[in-house]
Structures are given as C-alpha cells and as structure tokens.
A = this chain, B = another copy of it.
Amino acid sequence: MTQIYNFSAGPAVLPKEVLQQAAADMLDWHGSGMSVMEMSHRGPEFISIYEAAVRDLRLLLNVPANYKILFLQGGGLGENAIVPMNLVGRVSASATTPAAIDFVHTGSWSGKSVKEAARYANVNVAASGEAGRFTSVPPQSEWKLTPGAAYLHLCTNETIDGVEYNFVPELGDDTPIVADMSSHILSRVIDVSKYGVIFGGAQKNIGPAGLTLVIVRDDLLGHALPICPSAFDWSIVAAHDSMYNTPPTYGIYIAGLVFAHVLRQGGVAAMEQRNIAKAELLYAALDADDFYQNRVEKDCRSRMNVPFYLRDETLNDKFLAGAKARGLLQLKGHKSVGGMRASIYNAMLIEGVQALVDYLNEFAGRK
C-alpha cells in the first residue's frame, strides 16, 4: 500500500485501527457468523453496537441526561430542512405571523441553511460575514436578533471557508442555539448544555457519509410541523431509539469504532491539544512569507479546514501534481472558492501535517 495522507474535506480520513477492525469484522462480527451489514437492527447483536456507540459518545461530549442522541439520515443538507421542520412549530403554533429563525451567515454552509429554512419560516440574517468575504465571525455585539425567534442557527465551523467560532454566544433569553458542527465535532471540548441542538453529518470526524448525528434537548422535542416526515421527526426518532425506521446500521457501527478509538486516545480534550498543535504547524508554514495566503482572521481560523491560495495561482496545477506525487491527496479547494484546502480532522496524524508543511516549504523554495 502507498503511504498517503488524505486531506479530503469529507468523506475524510478515518483512523487506521478503525478500518483494520472493520476489515477483520467484515464477514463475522464477534463470532456471530454475520457481517454487521447483515444484522437485523432489532437483534441483540446490533442493539449492543448501538448502545455502546451512544454510551461512548455521551461520555466523549459529556452529554447531559436531558439531551437525546439520535442517528438520522440525510446529512447536513437534509438536516438544514429537518431542523426547521422540527423547531419552528415551537413558536408559531399560536402566532398569526410565521415563525422567525435567526442566522449568523459565516460562509457557504450557513448560507445554505438560510436558503433551506426559508421553505418553512421567516429567515433573518442577524449578522453576515459576506462583506468581508467570509473571513471572520461577526462579533456578537453586532448581531441583530429577533425577539421570540424559534431558534438561532450557527454553523460553528465553515468547512469551505475555514472559519471557526472561538466562543459560544450567551443570548440572555431562552432562544435555543442550533449548531451545525458537522466538520469540527469531537475536535474540541464543547459545553453541550449551551446549545439546544447540535447536529452534523458524520463524514468528517465521526464515520461514513450517510449517517447524521443529532443531539437535542428534551424540551425541544414534540414540535414537528405536520409536513415533517415521520422518518425525520426527532420526537418519533427519539421515542424509538433511532429505530423507528431502519437506521444506517453500518455507519453507526463505524461511528462506534471511532468513538471508542477517540476514548482510547484520551478523549476530546486530548484530541483538541493535538488539533491545536497540527493547526499551529500548518498555519505557521502558510504565514512564513507571502508565497501562500490564508485569508481568514487569525482568531477565527479553523483548526479543521485550512483553505489557502498560492500567490501565483498559475502554479496551482503544478502544486497539486507535486503534492499527489508525494502522497498528499485531495488538496484542491472547493470549486466555489478555488485555491487549495487542507482538512486536518482528528484522524489526520501530525506526521501528515508535517509532510504537507515540508512540501509547502520545498515548493516555496524556502531553505
């Protein structure tokens, strides 16, 4: 096997020991004679896999007892519709005007959320980083929030723009904060109790694409609109332990292996220390001179997704070809913003970041 380092933004690199375990289990999980893919989701074998995954995730994020952990389908984009279908009924039921949802627009993903939510409610962009071309998180002092909003939606790490929140807003009222943490969940310590809902597609720090994680506070269940499909009604999903319909069983199994792996690595706090070290190493190489450029304000730079540009963009193809030849894969930036992007999720080892930094220095002709 070629030694490669995979900087894909997602689906993304997984811990090698997780893949080794998955390969070993593929035809016969724990002597059952079955692959995990072949198990009834209602049988004792799969139930044990599910329960361990939920237990380990609760431990990793210190999820309070009054929050449910749900496994759904549809990814981040699906959830952008599923969230309002589940939450706008919280305030609009007795009102004569449609519910309002507040958004802070910090990049591509929060932008998609606004668009999708507009199907179900009045959307209010309380603050936007668009004028600055999404290079910072607008400070909370500038947010124009709607009194009585159904919720406030944040994308706490913008995968495409490389912008990450370094604070949790304190709203001073009971408006729930909904956070799309798709691309940085499990990468840093969070206080779940500060949020009403945390959601994310699995395919960055958790497991395979096709699995969506939702962590929701109990009092936010039970408000789904009549047009919300049963499969995506959080209260139905919660009442059936994510098995009202057949869940993505193999994705839950892989996620469970990842959760157990992160626990063995020392948990989220230990991952965060490694992620800080990896990000510092990479940003330092980008900042060393003006050969490369990351345009995000320093205190809003993502530790997970690092977009950068070559000063001379005519060298882009040469840069990517040289990277590939060294086993540094999937560095091309998102088509909407161009340039390069290195995603350095939990499963990216510091050795991979060092290999990239070595190449950055070499390509820039630095001594």
A176 an interface residue at 8 Å Cβ cutoff? no
Judged by DSSP, the binding face of A is: loop
A93 an interface residue at 8 Å Cβ cutoff? no
**If A14-B38, A227-B227 touch, does A251 touch B210 (CB 8 Å cutoff)?**
yes
A196 an interface residue at 8 Å Cβ cutoff? no
Chain A to chain B contacts (Cβ below 8 Å), 5 pairs:
A13-B34, A33-B329, A74-B232, A81-B231, A116-B230
Contact of A245 with B77 in the complex, beta carbons under 8 Å:
yes
Q: How far apart sit A244 and B81, CA to CA, in the bound complex (Å)?
A: 14
Partner-binding segment picked from A23-31, A150-158, A270-278, A294-302: A23-31
**Minimal beta-carbon separation of A123 from chain B (angstroms):** 14
A250 an interface residue at 8 Å Cβ cutoff? yes
A31 contacts across to B, CB distance below 8 A: 1-2
**Minimal beta-carbon separation of A342 from chain B (angstroms):** 13
A41 contacts across to B, CB distance below 8 A: 11, 209
A232 contacts across to B, CB distance below 8 A: 74, 78
Contact of B73 with A73 in the complex, beta carbons under 8 Å:
yes
Q: How far apart sit A2 and B45, CA to CA, in the bound complex (Å)?
A: 15
A6 contacts across to B, CB distance below 8 A: 33-34, 38
Taking A120-B227, A208-B249, A227-B227 as given, write out 14 further A-B residue pairs in contact, using a Cβ cutoff of 8 Å, ordered by the A residue number.
A6-B33, A8-B39, A14-B38, A19-B27, A37-B254, A76-B245, A81-B229, A116-B230, A119-B227, A119-B228, A119-B229, A209-B246, A210-B210, A210-B251
